[in-house]
Amino acid sequence: MTDWELWACAQRVIKEHGADAPEHVATMIARMVAAANEGGIVTWQAIAERVDQLMDYRTGRPLSKQ
């Protein structure tokens, strides 16, 4: 996946799961591990990094534009 696609996936996960986005990503990584899907693990870890950057964990909401 391209960097742009990974950012788009992270934004979609946040839009769909809100404050539960990190938990959803962790679940997806666990599923990839259980399936021994190395490509999936790497992809979801990259999405996790981007979700982490986009989320404001103090409020559990995406960072607002100022």
pLDDT digits (tens, 9 = 90+) for 13-39: 999 999 899 999 999 999 999 999 999
With contact defined as beta carbons under 8 Å apart, do 7 and 50 qualify?
Answer: yes
With contact defined as beta carbons under 8 Å apart, do 55 and 17 qualify?
Answer: no
Supply the pLDDT for residue 66.
Answer: 47
